[in-house]
Structures are given as C-alpha cells and as structure tokens.
Chain A
Amino acid sequence: MKTVCNSFGITLLLIGQFALAQQTPAPKQSESILISGVTAHIGNGEVIENAAIGFNNGKITYVGSRSGTDATSFSKVINASGKHVYPGFIATNTSLGLAEIDAVRATRDFDDVGDMLPHIRSLIAYNTESKVVESMRPNGVLMAQITPRGGMISGTSSIVQLDAWNWEDAAIKVDDAVHMNWPSTFRRGRWWLGEDPSLKPNKDYAKNMQKIASFFNGAETYLKGEQKEKNLPYTAVKGLYDGSQQLFIHASREKEIVDAIAWAKEEGIEKVVLVHGNEAHKTADLLKRHHIPVLIPRPHRLPDSNDADVKQPFRLAKMLMDKELTVGIEHEGQMERMNTRNLPFYAGHFVAYGLTKEQALQMITQNAAKILGIDDMTGTLEVGKDATLFISEGDALDMRTNILSHAFIQGRAISLETHQTKLWKRYMDKYQGSK
C-alpha cells in the first residue's frame, strides 16, 4: 500500500481560485447557497451522510438529506461530494488579536497594570488586521472569545468572528464575561532572586482569596447604593449580579476549584464557567451539581507532575464528558495566539483517548457556543442559526485532511488566504518559474 496524498496540487489550485479575494473582509451574502452531497457534522453529535446545507442572508435555511431539498431554489450550488461540512470552530479563552509578536513589547496588549481590572475590555484592542488572526481561518477556526490576561481579575472578554474590518464589525457578543484568576494554592520560588525554585504551598492563599471577597463585597454594596461617584471596576461587575454576564474563573487545582465555586455561590453569582480545571475530574460531582461547564486546557501540555499519568492531559476530556459535564477547550499557555489554529487537532487528540469523533467536535462547536452563551446563533448546523461553516476535504479534526475549500462567516464567503499562504505561493512561483 502506498498512501500518497496529492492534495498539494489541489490546495494550490484552490488558493489560486481565491487569490483575488486576499484578506479583505468578505461582503454580505448576496445569493442563497446550497452545499450539496457532503457529510454534514452538525456539531451536536449527529452526522448526516450525503447531506445538503442551504443558507441565505447569513442564516442557515436548510439542513438535511440532499434529496430533501430542491437545489434549483438556491442561486448557487456547491457540489461537495465526498467532502465534509462543519460548523465554524469556536476558540474560547484566547488572547488572539491582543498581541502580534510575543517578543516585541510594543505589540503586546493583553495584560495591564493592576489586580482588579474588570473594567478592562479586550474588544477595543482586538486587531482585526492581525496576521495571526487570519491564519486561524484556513483551519476552520472562525470565532473566538478574546480574553485579557494577568491580575486577579484580568478584565472582560468579548466574542468575535474572524473576518472583519474593525472590532465593531467583528463583535458577535460584547463584554460576554469577566475573567478571574483564582489565587493559587501553591507558588514557585523566584529563582532569579535566589529563592528555592520549588513549588510550595502559597502562604498568601487565604489572604488573596480575601482580596477577591473584599472587592466583590465592595462592589455589591456600591451597586446597591446611588453610585453618585462612578466606580469603574465596581460598575464593570454589575452584569455578574443581574445575570447578563458570566464569570469565568480560571482555577486549576482541586482545592482552588472547590473554594472558587463555594465563593461564587456564596456571592450569588449565577453564571460561572470553570477555566483550566487541570484537576476538574476530582471535583466533577460538585461541578455537575452546580451546572458549571469546564473549559479544559489544550492537551498539548505536559502532565502536572512527574508522578502523573504520562497521558494525563489527553484523558481529561473523557473523564469529564463521562460525568456529563459540558466541556470545551481553552487556549491559555505558551504561544497561545499562534497555536489557537491547532484547535481542531486538540479536539482530535482527545479521540485517541476515549472520546468519539463527534464528541470531540462538539467540544469546539456546540459546547463552546453553549459555554459562551452564543448557542442561539451559532455552534451547530441548524436552521435559523448563523451560516458560519466551512467545507473540508476530509476529517477536519485530523491534520492530514483538514484542508478547507470554502468557509463562510454569517453567510459571507471568506478568504482562506493569509500572509503565510501568499508567501508560500510567491516562493513556489519563484522556484517553478526558475525551472
């Protein structure tokens, strides 16, 4: 057997087709489109073979078998037999667009000065022209929750789609959640100051929890009053109390998770999402009882300790899904922005360790949408939802076959070209021309 994949030619051809589109945001959908003959991955676990997906004015109008709709009623039919269609993937908890080059300070806009910064809003710094952002799209990542970093309360995130002229165009949900870094029960010695670099119980843990409690006590009291002199940080957490915003608590260890949930419940904050949750499996029952979804870290990380299961990061998804928790994948970590495009492969990786392919897909589509509170408009291929979807040559969770021919955001046919594909083409042209 010789598995020789000749998609190189195919891809070049496709790029050629879109060469003119560049990365200019696509115009509004002007004609109804039917994608026909595909395997449709709905995002909720269902798969429809030989399916058709129709959409018009940016919304999905038909999902079903190919035979169940009249192709002639669509202005344009894309015959995609043998291909696969997926809802656009959603990246949660990423600082995408908030920095361009990690090592260049001038391009870093994700972490500001101060501990309690709920009033910091990621949306206004989100760079729609980022070369890193455009590199998401050829892999099927079409939406993202843009999240600031640092401090105890890092700030407020917003959710964007990744084909826009500016942040106002990009926003699909503004100021969706406040992000809090729960204090750590352990801390490392600062070796550069001559301290023992070991990880030791954090003596300031209780004190740091107290800081959070006291900030929120202050906010609650303030919000009950007349608010004559405006307090920006306090005002910025108002949505957590009236249910219009979610609180994303970033916590890793068992004790931190338990303490965080107890605090949030005590504080009367209804909508809580756990982010990280390395040890969420140890608290799964508690999370379930409180209906708290979990955004687990990308599997591309090392186990927490030398003693841990060497495959620990890969098994977490299955352990939590088995407990019927709503689970998604978040991105915080080393080189997180550029790595966000690997989202489908993170999901795929979990399949080798127990999930079904459709469950893995669900993590980055339906579950992500539910967790972010945008499942009424996106996350699955269902009639009435945004036509944010793409066509892949094959299984989009596998690197070899995640090769996109078309992608649509709210019905708009977006460019799949990037700074990178342009360079690729330019230099291949140079070499081919010189021969």
Chain B
Amino acid sequence: MRESLLALSLLMCCLAVSGQDYFPKNDGVSEEDNSYTAFTNAKIYVSPNQVIDNGTLLVYDGKIVAASTSASIPNNSQVVDLHGKYIYPSFIEIYSDFGIETPKRQNNFRQRPQYDAKREGYYWNDHVTPDINGIDKLAYDKKRADELIKVGFGVVNTHFQDGIIRGTSALIALNNEEGDARRILDESAAQHFSFTKGNTSKQSYPTSLMGAMALIRQVYHDASWYGNGGADKLDRALEAFNKNKGLPQIFEAGSMVNALRADKIGNEFGVSYILKGGGDEFERVAEIKATNTSYIIPINFPAAYDVSDPVSAAAIELKDMRFWNQAPSNPKILADNGIEFALTASGIKKPDDFRKNLQKAIEYGLSEEKALEALTTVPAKLLGKSDQIGSLKKGNHANFMITSGPVFDENTTLYEHWVQGNKHVINDMGTKDIAGDYTLNVGGKTYDLVIKGTSSKPKIVLKEDTLKLSSKINYKEGWVNIFFNPKKEGGTEFIRLTGQVGERNTLSGRAVLANAATTIWTARKKTDAEKEEEKKDDNKAEDNAPEVLPVTFPNTAYGFKKKVRQQDVLFKNATVWTNESDGILENTDVMVKNGKIAQIGEDLSAGNAKVIDATGMHLTAGIVDEHSHIAAAAINEAGHNSSAEVTIEDVVDPQDIDIFRNLSGGVTSIQILHGSANPIGGRSAIIKLKWGESADKLLDPNAKPFIKFALGENVKQSNWGDNNTVRFPQTRMGVEQVYMDYFQRAKEYDATWKNYNKLSSKAKSRAKAPRKDVELEALAQILNKERFISCHSYVQSEINMLMKVAERFNFNINTFTHILEGYKVADKMAKHGVAGSTFSDWWAYKYEVNDAIPHNGAIMHSQGVLTAFNSDDAEMSRRLNQEAAKAVKYGGVSEEEAWKFVTLNPAKMLHIDDRVGSIKVGKDADLTLWTDHPMSVYAEADKTMIEGAIYYDREQIPTMLENIKKERNKLINMMLLEKNKGMKTQPPKKKEKVHLHCDTLIYQQ
C-alpha cells in the first residue's frame, strides 16, 4: 500500500509538471481542478483477459491511475458507485476516415487522358502521396464523434483514403470536450497503402491492379536509392516515404485475394503490412494464416437478398448467396486459426449496425474475449500504442465505458463513455435496467412479460399462456408505459399500464383497462429457478447455433469440398495420340503414377492404380492455350506505352469459373497474357488449371519468364476514340521507335548494373548503387535471352520490323501471337526462328485483319514455322480441339500435325514441352480423355487430368449440378426466413465478371 501511495504521489508530481499551462488566460481566473474520480464496486475489464470483480478505477487528469480491488482513494476524489455495473476499455477504430473528406470519383470518361503527374517536386506519379498527412486535412467532426462514442469507440486512426500510397494517419481521441492539443494522440500513427488509385488526380497510370502493384514496388526501390543519395533532385514524396518507414504500415487490401497480393509485395521488401481485409478471409484461411501477419477485419456482413421473386432470385449467384451465409463466421474462423486481427466498423453505413454485426459474429462463434481484444488490445498493439490505449492499465488514457452488463450482450445498456477523463453520457445511469422476464398481473389475469433491449430502447414480448399479444413499451425518466391488446383476435381495445421500478426490480403502477376502469398492476421479475423451469418446458427450444454452409475450393459453384488429389490411374485400351514419333497408338494403355506418365503399352497391369476403361475413347496430351485472358483480375496496364514492370502473375484469379469451363474442354495449361494496350505490355503468367488451388499454386514452376508485346491498331490506339490521340506512338512508325528507345535504355541499364556488380565489395561500398528499375530490368532480361516475347501482331510490315529490331539487339522474338498475316512472311519467320500462334479463322473485326485467312496456320506450318492455334477468348478456349480441326479443313494439314497446333506446339512455344504437350514416359500426366476423335465436332472431353489429379470428370457433372440446385434452394429458403423475420434485405443482383480480351481496359479490383 505504501508503495502504491508513493507511486501515486510520484505520478501526481509528474502530472503536475506536465500539466503546467503556459497559455495566457483573459476570461477569468485559473480553475485548475486537481480532483480524482474513483469508480468503485465495478466489474472492471482492465483488458480482455484481466478482469477485476468489485474493483475500483481511479482516474486523474484524463489518465488511469489505478484499476484494482485495493486502490486507495485519495480524499480529493469524486466517488461513483458502480455496484453491479461493468467497466470496459473503449474500442479503437483502427481504420477510419474520421474528419477527413475523401474526394469523389470524377468522371473522366470523355476527356483526354493525363499521362504525367500534376504535382511538382514530388514523385512522378500523383497516386503516390506518402507526404500527405491525414492530420493536415482533419477537421474534428463532433457529430460523427458522438455516433462513434455511442457505439463504443474512444479513439480513431484516421487517414486520407485516396491514392495508392496515402501517407500517414492520425490517432485521435474522441474527446468532444477538449481541443486538438489534447485529442491528438499521434500526428502520424501509421502509413497507409491501397491498390486503388486516387480521385484527386486523373493521371492515367496505373490503369490496373497489377500496375498499382508494380508502382508500389518501384517506389520501394526508388526510395531506397533516393535515401542513399542517388538522386540529384528533390522528391518530397520519397523523402516522406523514407521518413514513414518506421511507422506501422497499413494496407487496404479489401479482399482475401488482394490480401495475399499485398503480402507478397511486403515479403519482397521485408515489410509486414497490417492488412485490411474484405471479410472473405475464411474462404482460404490456410493461405491467410500463412501470411503470418495481422489483419483489420470489417464486419459489414451483407444483407440477405430479397428472393421473394423466383425469377429474379435465379439471377443471384451461389457464391454471393453463400457469402451472405458464411461471412458472419469469418471472425470466428480467423480466431480459431490463431490469426491476429482487429475489427473495424469501416464499411458499415449505420453506426448501430456495428453492434448488431458484432453480436452476429459472436452468435456465429467468435468468443467475447476475442471480440474485445480485436477492438482494444490488438489495435493498440498494432499501432504500437499499448502503453496509451486499449486497456485500463495505469498510465493509459482514461478511455472506458460503463455498462449495465457484458458489453456485447444485446440487452446491455451503455451508460457512460469516458474519453480522456471526459464523461459522455449515453444513457442515464440513474435509469434502472428493466430488462428481464416478468410475471405481469393486471385485471385478475396473469401474463408472461419479457423485456429486452437496452434501457433507451426496450422491447417487449407479452404472452397470455403461449399466445403472443400485440404490445408496446416505452421507458423514460424512470417511468414505464406499456400498452397491449388483451384480445387474441386483435381489435382496437387496449390495456394501458403506467408505473415505475420498485423494490427488487418489481414494476408496478396504475392500469387503465379496456373498459376504462383503473386498477393496479405489478410485474414481478422471475427468479432464475423459475426461468430454468420454463426453459425445461419448451425444451424443444431452438438450437441457436446458426447453420454455416461448408466452404469449397474455390468457394463458388463447382468448387470442390476438398482440394483434388493426385492418384495413380491406368487408362485401359485407349487410342493414344502420343504427339511423339510413335504417332497414334490404338488399343493402348497409359499408366499414370505420382503425377507422371509412367508407362505406355499394351495390357499393362494396374497394380494399385485406379483403372479407367477408355475403350472407344481417345487419350491425348492436355490442350495448351498460348494466348488466354481467363483467370486474371486485370489484363491491361494501359497507363504507359511500356508496362514491362507489371506482371499477370500478380493478378491470377483462381476463382474464375472459366478455369473449370476450360477444363471441361480438355485444357490443362494456359499462358495468361497481358493485353495489347501498349507496344511493350506486361509479363505473362503461365499456369496449370488446378481448379481449387490458390493463385500461387496455379503458377507453373516449370515455366520460363514471358512478356507480351503488341503491334498495330491497338497499341496506336486506333479504336480508342478521338480523345486518345496524345500518347506516343500513334503510328506504326512510332511503334518501332518505342522499341528502339526502350531496348537501348535497357542495354545501357544492363551495362551499368553489370559494371557495378563487377566491382569489389570495397569499391561497391564507395560507389553509389545504380537505381533499380523494374521495367528496364525486364527488358534487359529479354536482351540477355532470359525472358521471351510473345508479340500480338497482324500485318506483315510490323512483323518484319520487330524481327529486325530484335536482330539489331541480338536476340530473337519467341512467338508472334495472332500473327494473322504470318503467311505473308512465313519464310522470314522461319529464318528468324519465331513461332506463330494464330487464330484458326477469325477475321474482319478490324481493318488490320482484312487479309487474315484461315489458311494462315497451314501456310506457316508448311514453311517450317512452329505453329499453334490459340483462343484469346474464354469461350473459344473450351473448344480448341475443334479449332485444331480447322487446320485440316483450311489448308489440309494432317490430323496428327493439326492436333499438335493445340498441344505440343504451344508447349514448345512456352518452353514447357519438357514436361507437357505429349504423351511420353516421364512427362507430367496432363491428359485429356475424349469420347471421340479429339478433333471431331462430335467429341467431348470426358476427363481432364493435371499431374495425375482429375480436375474434370464428365460423369460428376450431374451430381455437381444437383448439389448446386439443392444448395441454392436451401439458401433461398434461409433468406426467405430472414425476410420473414423482418430483417433487412437487398435487391437481387448478379455480380458479373467482364470477360477480358486483349483490348479490355477496365480497372478491376
């Protein structure tokens, strides 16, 4: 005791010193108040896992002095007796735009694009604004503060929510009584990031998610170079970025997939972002856990869809309905998996909904302790402010709530919310809590009365026997008014009660009966024993745990309950198209072991392998699509004429239904190419269609680096409308010069680095490291033959030009894709050694395909050009087997060679033919079993296998469809129930994905 007194007096000294006011005063005399406030007899949650029963909370000058059962109360203390009440630390809103206006989206649809930054003295991109400090834009918003205080928040971390690198947030106490001098806990509490470009600037770059990702990477490199004195000009943005490095780094990912993307960037630069998620993290919780970082999780659970009109309801997709059902379980699942997270009200429009959704999350299994941590200690820790906020430890700000009961209980009333020692009254503490179960006696009859909800908004259920009567309650200033209709059939006669809370929480007063006679009424609170007894009576009482439907991989229609496993399989008695010198083998068995083709022959013995009778069927290597745009969240980075810094690998979308649809067409490997919005596009992702796996697992580890280039109308923006005439190049002549320029720069860049890397470590320490340029690095890889070009191309002049440019820089173009006039320069292509990946028969869609002919493939093939047919289209890719057959029709390619157009040849172009593209012992078991000759229009893929795992099986489709139907029906019934309960619903809608082609420019998140 003596010790604590000593500590106390020391503290007082400190407080006295630090509290010395130096402001002149002209409106009176000094009114310094040195009193304490002591809250006694309360149940105090010092922190979620430290609870004191019957304790005292001592507050002085806005700070906690003590929270214990044994705190001595100084004489100059105001004592507040909180018998039976609870004290909790205030919540922290870690993700907020409190007091800071976010600029609205400007519609720049019909304007000339802006390619350069508008700001001077800053970074070259206006969406990189680490120099912006939220505090400079903050205007304390009392009204909004009141709303937040009512919900339980005492501190907000607020920032300017615009741009990709957004600058710093300010940590603000919601102290409505004192000024900023007191409220501002930290002027720069964290640095913020997002993938969405800002509305402040109209600068084009980045136009895509992958562009945003590349931009962030380049900023890290540039900041490091700048920090080492590499620049000779001032860059206030990079200066700020370097200054903010030590702060917590908060990244608004907005969804599970984007969280994984942001984490990937973080790993590359040794930064552990605090990731603001999207509420869908449960869909791939294992991957989320593997990020090994902390999350900020919104609980803006979706409302049920209004499915009362079956025709409209049919448009809602299973995944969206499922999300409604599963989303409330997200916090529980994260907690169960040991993932650290803070909760945020961000995204919730009505403040009251925050509490409701919190209760919902708890109903779905989130423990109250975890919920409290997620709103107090976790955000405090994430912001590095555990010694100031988030708990009621000594020395922390006196931010706490006084409640009638457990803070998350729906019947609990929040009385007072103190922030920095300032009281905000939410509900009068003098008002007695009347929630409970009562026996009501009035007019000689007995009713069951249940009062629920908070003191300010109580609700009642009134029953006579088991029959519910229509009734209303009103409770104000200690007076209870109830009226109800005693007649079971309804009607207009009411019994009206008015009264007050008496001894032992009994309610009583005067009643006016339906016949206007007055009498006395009492409502006696039931004892626990009585309640227990009743519970037994209606034992059937609902099992309250809500039903959450299982997550599938991916969490959409056709998702698998468990990820598909490799198995040993023996295909018996098939016609086998080997694509090797063996040609086409009839009545042949193929054994698949450990994901590889183990044996090809007749009458192989199955051993433990699963036997698939393939009699009458054809077995081929899986189809390889050299040019695809499925399974990607973005396709074009159109903000610059070169975007070699972006990569589709960043934006692979493993949930795209087109993956499954492609499997149904026998496709196993694809190259997802960047689009054709610029002469130098972005890097490719070469993936295998492993439906159900995460994006990283789709990437083919065997693949070499590729990049997309493009020529012709698209890159010179011929069909982009009259506003898009300012970006260089606008002609084919300009296109060549873009290449000359970039390759020359890449060559010089490469030389600079090579020279630097040659230096001894001693010399290196004296020299300044050159600037790392993500874009030029990719181009240097091309020059060093470490990265291969697949170039979108149409007319012969430009095709020839690019080969010549490459030859001047001493490398080869790997593939011309589209290459519809390849037939005109097939001899030159063969000489250069470039492959041609073309359409079977597309033409007439723009001027440059005027001379496109379906015989193109046959002619190129005849001149020794490695030839393939590709899709560039989510629809066509499902039937590339039929497209191959068109090489037979148009130009008379042999069937065996035509089949290679969609299997072995594209595999060769992608440099993955050592593993896929033919049926050869030792290659990956990426196989398709066809019901018929694979190029017949009558053939259908029966099974599609990747590395020994069967991802598509025609026989399973009816079951899958039946399950989809049943699950939809179940969810629709659940939603109807929700609507019947009077819950809020949203109109039906279908979130359609836009099918992406080369020229798709939409910015997708």
Contacts and interface: CB of A to CB of B under 8 A. Distances in A.
Interface of A: 1-12, 100-104, 131-132, 185-186, 188, 191-194, 196-201, 253-255, 300-303, 305-307, 309-311, 335, 337-338, 341-342, 345, 348-349, 351-353, 397-403, 419-421, 423-424, 427-428, 431, 434
B989 A199 contact: yes
Nearest to B932: A352
Nearest to B825: A427
Contact of A101 (B309, B850, B855, B1002): B850
Contacts of A309: 957, 961
Contacts of B315: 186, 199, 201, 305
A359 B661 CA distance: 26
B882 A6 contact: no
B845 interface: yes
Contacts of A100: 844
B892 A8 contact: yes
- What 9 A-B pairs come out closest when comparing CB atoms? A8-B892, A348-B937, A103-B846, A399-B885, A424-B855, A199-B990, A338-B844, A420-B853, A198-B989
Interface in B880-909: 882, 885-886, 888-896
Contacts of B107: 193-194
Contacts of A4: 894-896
Contacts of B309: 201
20 contacts: A2-B583, A3-B933, A5-B895, A100-B844, A103-B718, A104-B847, A191-B994, A193-B107, A194-B105, A201-B988, A300-B876, A306-B317, A306-B319, A310-B661, A399-B937, A400-B885, A400-B888, A421-B853, A427-B826, A431-B863
B710 interface: no
Contact of A103 (B719, B874, B940): B719
Contacts of A10: 892
A19 to B, nearest CB: 15
Contacts of A307: 317-318, 557, 964, 968
Interface in B542-572: 556-558
A104 B847 CA distance: 7
B713 interface: yes
Contacts of B854: 420
Contacts of A300: 875-876, 879
Given A8-B891, A400-B936, A434 B827 contact: yes
- Chain B, interface size category, equals 35 or more
B843 A199 contact: no
B991 interface: yes
Contact of B826 (A6, A194, A431): A431
Contacts of B660: 310
Given A3-B895, A423-B853, A102 B846 contact: yes
A254 B310 CA distance: 11
A200 B989 CA distance: 5
B858 interface: yes
Given A8-B858, A310-B957, A3 B557 contact: no
Given A103-B845, A310-B664, A400 B892 contact: no
Nearest to B894: A4
B845 A338 contact: yes
Contact of B937 (A2, A335, A352, A434): A352
Contact of B664 (A6, A311, A421, A431): A311
A338 B853 CA distance: 11
A5 B938 CA distance: 18
Given A3-B584, A101-B846, A424 B859 contact: yes
Interface string B576-606: 0000000111100000000000000000000
A102 B824 CA distance: 23
Given A191-B1002, A199-B989, A431 B845 contact: no
Nearest to A349: B937
Contact of B939 (A188, A192, A311, A352): A352
A371 to B, nearest CB: 23
Interface of B: 105, 107, 109, 309, 311-312, 315, 317-319, 556-558, 575, 583-586, 657-658, 660-661, 664, 713, 718-719, 823-824, 826-827, 841-847, 850-851, 853-855, 858-859, 862-863, 874-876, 879, 882, 885-886, 888-896, 931-933, 935-940, 957, 961, 964, 968, 987-992, 994-995, 1002
A351 B938 contact: yes
B220 to A, nearest CB: 31
Given A310-B664, A335-B842, A431-B826, A9 B937 contact: no
B860 to A, nearest CB: 10
B664 A253 contact: no
A9 B933 CA distance: 23
Given A300-B875, A307-B317, A398-B936, A427 B824 contact: yes
Contacts of A3: 584, 894-896, 933
Instruction: Identify which of A10, A186, A200, A423 gathers the most chain B CB atoms within 10 Å of its CB.
Output: A423
Contacts of A103: 713, 718-719, 845-847
Nearest to A4: B894
A193 B108 CA distance: 9
A420 B853 CA distance: 5
A338 B850 CA distance: 11
B637 to A, nearest CB: 18
A107 to B, nearest CB: 9
B995 A302 contact: yes
Contacts of B885: 398-400
B842 A338 contact: yes
B991 A198 contact: yes
Contacts of B987: 200-201
A424 B936 contact: no
Instruction: Identify which of B846, B889, B931, B933 gathers the most chain A CB atoms within 10 Å of its CB.
Output: B889
A100 B719 CA distance: 16
Contacts of A101: 844-847, 850
B859 A427 contact: yes
Nearest to A12: B892
B992 A188 contact: yes
B218 to A, nearest CB: 28
B896 A2 contact: yes
Contacts of A345: 882, 937
Contacts of B888: 5, 7, 399-400
A342 B935 CA distance: 15
Contacts of B931: 352
A399 B935 contact: yes
Nearest to A192: B109
A11 B858 CA distance: 13
Contacts of B875: 300-302
Given A198-B992, A338-B842, A352-B937, A302 B889 contact: no
Given A301-B875, A335-B842, A434-B827, A398 B938 contact: yes
Contact of B853 (A342, A402, A424): A424
Nearest to B713: A103
Contacts of A196: 989
B109 A193 contact: yes
Contacts of A398: 885, 936-938
Nearest to A105: B719
Contact of A305 (B317, B658, B989): B317
Contacts of A428: 859, 862
A100 B845 CA distance: 8
A3 B895 CA distance: 6
Contacts of A6: 892, 894
A1 B586 contact: yes
Contacts of B939: 352
Contacts of B318: 306-307
A12 B896 CA distance: 20
Given A403-B889, A423-B853, A431-B862, A306 B895 contact: no
B992 A132 contact: no
Contacts of B664: 310-311
Given A1-B586, A431-B859, A434-B827, 19 more contacts: A8-B891, A8-B892, A9-B892, A188-B992, A197-B994, A199-B315, A200-B988, A201-B987, A300-B876, A303-B661, A306-B319, A310-B558, A341-B841, A352-B939, A400-B888, A401-B889, A420-B843, A421-B853, A423-B853
